[in-house]
Amino acid sequence: MKKKHYLLALVASLMLIVVVPSTIPKGQGQYPVMDMIANKVIQKYRQSTCEQLWQKKSEKAPPSEMEQKAIQALKNDPQMRTAFINKVAAPIANKMFQCGLIP
């Protein structure tokens, strides 16, 4: 149940990205809410045990409506999506490799 609350908070935070005013200057720190969420995702992977990650992988549930909206926001903004993936990819991939989730 704790996982669902975390995911809900993550998705709700991602949704805030959509409402961040477009007056934020371009460049470093362009998506401060996305940066905060990415940092939380990274922490979650770093703090999770391999057993927890294996369990999460086996429980793969369809995304909630809020998660779908957040995913759509990332699909609609290629720059934000690139920034998010660039930030979370290496730490997540390293943990997954460490746990044998990827070859």
CA distance 52 to 45: 10
Q: What is the pLDDT of residues 28-37, one digit of tens each?
A: 578 887 888 8
Entry pTM: 0.64
Q: What is the pLDDT of residues 46-75, one digit of tens each?
A: 999 999 988 888 887 788 887 787 788 889
* CA distances to 48, 50, 73 from 81, in Å: 24, 26, 8
Question: What proportions of the chain, in percent to the nearest 5, are helix, strand and coil?
Answer: 75, 0, 25
Sign of the dihedral defined by the CA atoms of residues 84, 85, 91, 92, in that order: positive
